[in-house]
Amino acid sequence: MPLKKLILAFFGLLLVVIAVTCLTLPDVSDLKTNNPSSTALMRQRELEARAAGKRPRKTQIWVRYDTISNRLKSAVLIGEDDAFFQHQGYDLEQIKESFIKNWEKKGLVRGGSTITQQLAKNLYLSTSKNPLRKLMEFLIARRLEEELTKRRIFEIYLNVIEWGDGIYGVEAASQIYFKKSSSALTTGQALQLAAMIPNPRKMSPSHITRRLTYRANLILSRMLEYRHISEKDYHEALDELDQSAHLAASNGRK
C-alpha cells in the first residue's frame, strides 16, 4: 500500500478511536455536589491485594477544601502542577518536556500529567501507561474542567489520591503519619506529604528516603521563589526537614 494511503488509513482509524472514546466517557456532572465514595484506583488496589492473598485496606476521611492547610495546597500545586489555575486541564509545556524525556529514554518515564489529568486517572482509569488510556485521561480531564470549578477539582483530588498503602486523601494521611488533622500540618509535614505523591508506595514520612528529602527541599525552594512563604518560614521548614531526615537516619541505624 502506498505511504499516502497508509497515513490516511492511520488517521482515519485514529478518528474512529477518538469518536468511540468520546461516546464512552463518564458523566462527571454528579461530582459538582457529590463526593465519590470510591475510585478506579481504589478498586484496582483492592483487586491487587486480594490477588496477593491480602486483606484490602482503605482509610479515607473526607474534608472540605477550606479546612485543608494552605501550605499543603501550595506544596502540592508546586510539586505537581504549578500552572493548575491557569490551564484548561492540560499543560502543553509539560507535555513537550515529557515527550522529550520519553524520547531520550526510549520509553514512558515521565507522564507530564496535570492535577486534572491525575484526578481523571484516579477516578475512572487504571495506572496503565498505554496510549489509549492516556487519550481517555486527556478527554476526561477536559470534561472535568468544563463541568467543575478549579476549586472543586482540587478538593476532590486532595481527598481521593493515594498517600500510601490503603491511605486515600490528605486527612487520612495527616492523621496516620502525623497524628493530626490536615488543617494543623506544619510546613515541613506538608512538604513531606506533597513530595511523596509521585510514588506513595515507596516514599512516606514513616520511612524518609533521600529521594523524599530531595523532592521536599526542591518544593520548598520553589515555594520561596514563588513567594508562597517568607524567608523566615523557609528556614524554619528547612530546619524541620533536616531534623526529620536526621531522625530517620538515626532510627535506621538502631
Residue 50 to residue 36: CA distance in whole angstroms: 22
Shortest CA distance to 71 belongs to which of 185, 163, 167, 179?
185
Q: What is the pLDDT of residue 157?
A: 98
CA-to-CA separations, 3 to 11, 14, 16, 224, in angstroms, rounded: 12, 16, 20, 53
The enclosing H or E element of 2 equals none
Q: Are 229 and 78 in contact (CB under 8 A)?
A: no
Each of the 254 residues of the chain gets a pLDDT tens digit; together they read 566 655 555 445 444 445 445 556 899 999 999 999 999 999 999 999 999 999 999 999 999 999 999 999 999 999 999 999 999 887 666 655 654 554 454 443 334 689 999 999 999 998 777 777 888 899 999 999 999 999 999 999 999 999 999 999 999 999 999 999 999 999 999 999 999 999 999 999 998 899 999 999 999 999 999 999 999 999 999 999 998 887 776 665 44
- Could you give all domains of the chain from N- to C-terminal order, each with its CATH number? 35-253 (1.10.3810.10)
Quote the radius of gyration of the chain (alpha carbons, Å): 20
C-alpha cell at 202: 515507596
Residue recorded with cell 530546619: 239
Q: How many CB atoms lie within 10 A of CB 89?
A: 22
pTM for the whole structure: 0.85
Cα separation of 213 and 241, whole Å? 7
pLDDT at 129: 73
Q: How far apart are CA 53 and CA 186, in angstroms?
A: 38
The H or E element spanning position 168 is strand 167-168
Query: Number of helices and strands (H, E) in the chain?
Result: 11, 2
